[in-house]
Structure formats: C-alpha cells, structure tokens
Structure 1
C-alpha cells in the first residue's frame, strides 16, 4: 500500500507541470489599438502595428501568443505591462495595400495545430483562433501630384513673363 502511494506521488509530480503549463485562456477580453504607415514619402516600407491587452476569464497571465496574417505567422511580443502584447508587420508598399486585415491570434496549442496544418499542406481556415483582431489600413499617401517646388518655379516664371511683357508694352 505504501509503495502504491509513492508511485502516485511520483506520477503526480510528473503530471503537475504538464497540467499547469497547458492552461488555456478562457473567454479572452481584448482591447486593441492599431497603427499603419500613413505616407510613402518618409518611409520605404509599410508598417502595421497592433497593440493589444488580453484579459482571460480564468486569470491566466503572460501566455505566449502568435499571429497569423495571410499565411504569415509572427510571435506576439510581450510588453512590460502585464497581458499587453504587440505585433509588427513590415513589407513593401505594394505587398500591403489598403484594406482590412484579419490577425488571427493563437495560443501555443493553437499555434502548434496551425504549424502542423501548414507543414502538411492542409487549409488553416478551419482552425479556430483564440481571438481575431481586424485592422483597417487606409493605404499610403504618396504625396501631391505636383511638387510645391515646381508650382513655385512656374509661378515665378509666369510673374517674370507678365512683368517682361508689360515692360515691353511700356517701352514700345
């Protein structure tokens, strides 16, 4: 009887980390803020940044999260504040056009299933994320059609021409 008790204690000690590590965030409440590059004049790439706070119903904190955006997987970076994360996406302006982007956020268990589906060539659309954040990117502004320096130069030429023709009329 004593040996059985010791075996159960040893088994319990091995299962305890597995049971505590495998917690899943229940009923996540998400608050998010998004940012996207507004203009192409000062940047060479479009940047999309999503910052979000996750509060789990079961009080789970500091979980590892991963994002899937259009088949591209990225880890969510934990910030210094508890349960606050950030995801940054950068690419060429042409590859991130204006529109709405859905960021599917997975925990470690969901991310493992996502990677397994990607490796086997299966569709990942059927996988249920922990939650989804929708980001609207209005596109980038490439600047005015005509540069202000050109308008100033043309205005100066027109003023000079008007003054020259008026002077020619006065002298004639």
Structure 2
C-alpha cells in the first residue's frame, strides 16, 4: 500500500501538469508610440493569444528574451499574454523587432546557458513575437515658437519702417 502512494502521486502530478503545449498558433496585436513630440521614451506593447493543440495544456508562464535581458510576459487572460517595454527615444529601434518567447523549460535552459556562457541561440524557444515600429514623429522641422517669433519680428520691422517713412 505504501508503495502505491508515490506512484499514484506522480500519476496525479502528470495529469495535473498536462502535456506541454504543442502545435502552437500565435496571433498578435502590437502597439508602439508613434508621436514623440513631448515624450522621451518609446513604448512597445505586444498582446498575443496562444492556441495549443486541444490535447495539450496551456503554456503557463512565459518569458521573453530582449537584448540579452529576460523579461517576464504578463498573463492577462487564459492563453492571452502581454509583453511590454520602453526604450529611450534616441536609441529606440525602428522596423520589425522580433522577440523570442520561452516557456518554463526554455526559460530554465536559457538561464543555464546565460550562467555558463553558452550560446543562447541554441536554446529552444516557445515562439517568436514580431513588433513593427515605423518610427516616431518628433515634430516639425521648424517649431511653432520660432515661426511666431519670426512673424513678430517681421511685423515690428515693418511697423518701424513705416514709422520712419511717415516721420521723414
């Protein structure tokens, strides 16, 4: 009887854990800051839905690798995740940014590879998420304040010129 307890507990653990997420389908929506006239940072947000094979479990916790930094991915609803970060306006990336996403097993292998100095490109990723950033509008080439000052100076010059003309 005592021999059956460890066997039964391991069987129940396998049922509770389920099989890992297989045949992954990911649909993403992304947002990036495109107006940087008054901002100093660009925000990148990607919301994605993960669909697994019906016989497998949900992916659980996910982690993203961005510029050799590991970022936790927020679980906002069942099988719905959100990844976000900010970058300085001067160093913000433009174009398509591909971020690797790892599940728990991949996260453990990634941490091990980083700790040992191994090649992190060889670690098996769960999926990738692409975020497209077209760039940020930083304002017009000539600011409105400069145009107003230039307009004021031209009116003042014209007024002084007319006054000199009438007085003489």
If the TM-score is normalised by the length of the shorter chain, which range does it land in?
0.7 to 0.9
In the other structure, the counterpart of 2:78 is 82
Gap runs ≥5 in structure 2: none
Decide which of 138, 144, 148 is 2:144's aligned counterpart: 148
Task: Please state if 1:73 is matched with 2:66.
Answer: no
Whether the 8 Å contact between 1:76 and 1:87 is mirrored in structure 2 is yes
Q: Deviations over 1:130-165 (max 9, x none)?
A: 111111222333322322012011112112212332
Per-residue CA distance 1:6-53 (angstroms, 9 max, x = gap): 624531313431464263111111111111222333323222111111
Alignment TM-score, normalising by the size of structure 1 = 0.84
Cα deviation, residue 99, structure 1:
3.0
CA distance in 1, matches of 2:51, 2:81: 11
In the TM superposition, structure 1's runs of 4+ consecutive aligned residues that sit over 6 Å from their partners are: none
Show the counterpart of 1:96.
92
TM-score, with normalisation over the residues of structure 2? 0.85
Q: Aligned-pair RMSD on alpha carbons?
A: 2.2
C-alpha separation between the residues in 2 aligned to 1:19 and 1:120?
33
- CA distance in structure 2 between the aligned counterparts of 1:62 and 1:120, rounded to whole angstroms: 26
**2:158 is matched with which residue?**
162
Structure 2: distance between partners of 1:90 and 1:21: 34
Aligned residues: 167
| Greater per-residue strand proportion | 2
What SS is found at the alignment partner of 1:117? helix
Cross-structure match for 2:50: 54
Q: Within the alignment, does 1:115 sit opposite 2:114 as a pair?
A: no
